[in-house]
Amino acid sequence: MGNTDIVAAPLSDANEKNTTEHSTIFDDVFRTIAQKMPQLLIPLINEVFHTSYSEEEPFEQLRNEHYEKFGTVVTDSIIRIGNHIYHLECQSSKDKTMVIRMFEYDISIAIEHASFESNDIWEIEFPQSCVLYIRNHRSLPDFHEAIVKFADGQKIRYRVPIIQAKKYTVDRIFEKRLLILLPYHILRYEHFLKHNGTDSKKVQHLLDDFREINRRLEQTSEKEQKSHLYMDMIVLIEEIADYIIPEDNEIRKGLGEIMGGKILKLRSEELLELGEARGEARGEARGEARGRLTGLHEAKIDAIQNMIDLGLTREQILRKYSPEEYEEAINSMSVKA
């Protein structure tokens, strides 16, 4: 879609006063992806380090806590692919000391994985590291750099590549398989949203972007049969969108309708599939047709009860299920209580 390559508003510098105070949600989302969907890190590694790993490449997630004299150093993500270790950090605010922090992290990682060679010399190899900046910042270089001077006069230039989420449109994200950037895409519009922007053209660009994200995610999910990944990604997208968009901004409702309906649909389909399997199992004992129908009906009731537990309203649920099924689910919950 052509609109996905249009920047809806000038990419204003992020508000530094707020970024350091309220960055936890961004860290949490990145670490959730790293822990629950680590395969999404591989395209990011390919993009930064010009590698060509398959998304099915075997990898190992390494411990991200390193204990040092003055406390615990916690990194965002460390994975090993073959003989190479990759260290990825997600950053929302500009920080002049970032290169020092990265050097500290990388020393900890390198020492933990140091090897004692046969010629009685230790080999300490630094990981390949990068920093992902998710907010809109002006004047970021391509690398964080520092000069490391050794006692014998050697000087080594320590460099950490920088990748900026703002440079990737929806089309480029899907072209390069950088789905890890999707939850942060709303930050392209952060300045506009925080000022409660009502420019209809810019609002339309934002909503068009997320319609395209929704369409492409659904397409990917169907093609690759990864409905769980699709649902989890939408939840993370909404998590950050809800944080960024002011509660009184109508865009919040529009975006919720675009993205939220798909979660409802997919979650219910997942439960219906479970019901089909349950119905088939019962069919062996009670007759296949009867078992399937019973399982499907029970799965519908389970799906409705699950949606109620998740906080969905009656109106949202009735978009998919009948009033009779809704009432039966409510009555069944009361009996169980």
Mean pLDDT by runs of 10 across the 337 residues of the chain is 36 44 72 87 96 91 57 69 94 91 92 83 92 90 95 95 95 94 92 74 87 87 75 85 82 77 51 52 46 63 76 74 86 71
- Give the model's pLDDT for residue 274: 58
Residue 96 main-chain phi, psi, to 5 deg = -65, -20
Long-range (24+ apart) CB contacts under 8 A made by 318-323 are 319/261, 319/264, 320/264, 320/265, 320/268, 321/268
- Residue 133 and residue 130: Cα distance in Å, rounded? 10
What is the distance in angstroms between the CA of the first residue and the CA of the last residue of the chain?
49
Three-state DSSP class for residue 191? helix
- Give the model's pLDDT for residue 42: 95
Residue 150 main-chain phi, psi, to 5 deg = -100, 160
Q: Measuring CA to CA, which residue among 310, 304, 189 is closest to residue 252? A: 189
- Give the model's pLDDT for residue 139: 86
- Give the model's pLDDT for residue 197: 61
Instruction: Kindly report the number of other CB atoms within 10 A of residue 136's CB atom.
Output: 21
- Give the model's pLDDT for residue 27: 85
CATH architecture of 20-167: 3-Layer(aba) Sandwich (3.40)
- Give the model's pLDDT for residue 5: 35
Annotated domain spans of the chain: 20-167, 185-264, 288-335
Count how many Cα atoms sit within 13 Å of the Cα of residue 271 in the half-sphere of its side chain: 16
- Give the model's pLDDT for residue 255: 81
- Give the model's pLDDT for residue 21: 38
Whether the CA torsion 64, 65, 69, 71 is positive or negative: it is: positive
- Give the model's pLDDT for residue 203: 85
Helices (H), the chain: 16-19, 24-36, 41-49, 98-112, 170-175, 190-194, 200-224, 227-244, 250-286, 288-309, 314-317, 323-336
- Give the model's pLDDT for residue 287: 46
- Give the model's pLDDT for residue 259: 75
- Give the model's pLDDT for residue 337: 54
What secondary structure letter does DSSP report for 55?
Answer: T
